Amino acid sequence: MPENNRPYRIIISGGGTGGHIYPAVAIANQIKAINPDAEILFVGAKGRMEMTRVPEAGYKIVGLWISGLQRRLTLDNLSFPLKVLSSVRASHKIIKEFKPDAVVGVGGYASGPLLYAATSRNIPALIQEQNSYAGITNKLLAKRVDKVCVAYDNMKQFFPAEKLVLTGNPVRQDIMEIQDKRREALLHFGLISEQKTILVIGGSLGARTINQSVAAGVKQIAEAGYQLIWQTGKGFYAEVQQLEKPYLEQGIRAFDFIKRMDLAYAAADIVVSRAGALSISELCLAGKPAILVPSPNVAEDHQTKNAMALVNRQAAILVRDQAAQQELVPAALQLLQNEQEQKRLQQRIQKMARPNAAADIVKELLELIK
């Protein structure tokens, strides 16, 4: 406990994608598990996903007027310096009123101004980098903060070695508890237990290449006698609803968004996924044979680097985005037919799991406060 015996007061800042938000919520939940009276405030970017997802998880959030720099000249870019100044000023005000014992940055636009303001007031600060290739906000903040918690080895190229702690990425607790849920999971999705099941996930917004590749191969999957749980994202869902109709009886199931990801993993024999940091951490913990299709549309191609961290250890199969239309469904069918290969991938990916990530990050945070 802080010296005057009051509960901890922590600000967690960042967001923009599920890959930033879910680890942030997992860290908050772990703080609450250790110190139930702790007061936690989230700081996000106005108009971004965290402004709805964080309150859904039961936490208060304040929004800053901030966005990222676009790679081409836009009006947003012209207002960027103004947004940074405004957000730093707002961050100082938030810190002055909330009086945090420490701050945590999880990457994304909002963590920059908030952690800049906090470190200029000498408040203990920690950042958590989810990817194997560090984001620009975290790289800039690394010199100012006390600790940098990372999910991959070999991060000295981005961060000061003396600040690095290898913790892994925190994931939702229910993902770690799927062992006995297969029966419940198959019932939940209206599937039958005798047939093997593919889970396809393209992140919370869906992934165009994966969706198009699976759409082209739905008939093949159904005719081969396999079931499919398919998270399409909102944009592609209407199209897929028409596509799945003839195959509902064969166990083809499409959803715009899957809330019960624990049950989706529990039902799956193999998983097809993008290679976002959080997806990979979940796959390691769920111990699922995986085919990864990294998105080429992310900064510094970091999804390919995330995927290669597994592929180089023969813990996952890689299908390149540009080859997915031809190769993805055949690779999935081939893997489903090869139980030995499934077993091998499962054993190797499980070795890369870090189930104590949230606890390890919070331990580092509390040591900074003390």
Q: Which residues contact 214 (CB under 8 A, 6 or more apart)?
A: 200, 221, 228, 230, 272, 328, 329
CA distances (Å), origin 144, targets 41, 105, 131, 139? 21, 12, 20, 10
**CB proximity list for 342: less than 8 A, separation 6 or greater:** 269, 270, 289, 335, 336
The answer to the question of whether 18 is labelled as a binding residue is yes
Residue 299: which residues within 8 A CB-CB, separation 6 or more? 135, 136
Name 102's bridge partners: 10
SS3 content of the chain, % helix, strand, coil (to 5): 50, 15, 35
Asked whether the beta carbons of 364 and 149 are under 8 A apart, the reply is: yes
Distance CA 282, CA 20 (A): 14
Helix 208-223 to helix 234-244 angle (10° resolution) is: 20
From CA 187, how far away is CA 283, in angstroms rounded? 22
120 labelled ligand-binding: no
Q: Distances from the Cα of 279 to the Cαs of 34, 36, 158, 253, 285, in angstroms?
A: 26, 29, 22, 20, 10
Task: Give the tokens for residue 124.
Answer: 């203990």
4 is in an annotated binding site: no
Q: Helix or strand or coil: residue 99?
A: coil
Q: Is 213 annotated as a binding residue?
A: no
339 alpha-carbon distance from chain centroid: 28
Q: Is 17 assigned a ligand-binding role in the annotation?
A: yes
The answer to whether 144 is annotated as binding is no
Q: Is 131 labelled as part of a ligand binding site?
A: yes
346 is in an annotated binding site: no
Name the DSSP letter for residue 36: T
Binding site for UDP-N-acetyl-alpha-D-glucosamine, residues? 17-19, 131, 172, 204, 258, 303
Binding site, residues? 17-19, 131, 172, 204, 258, 303
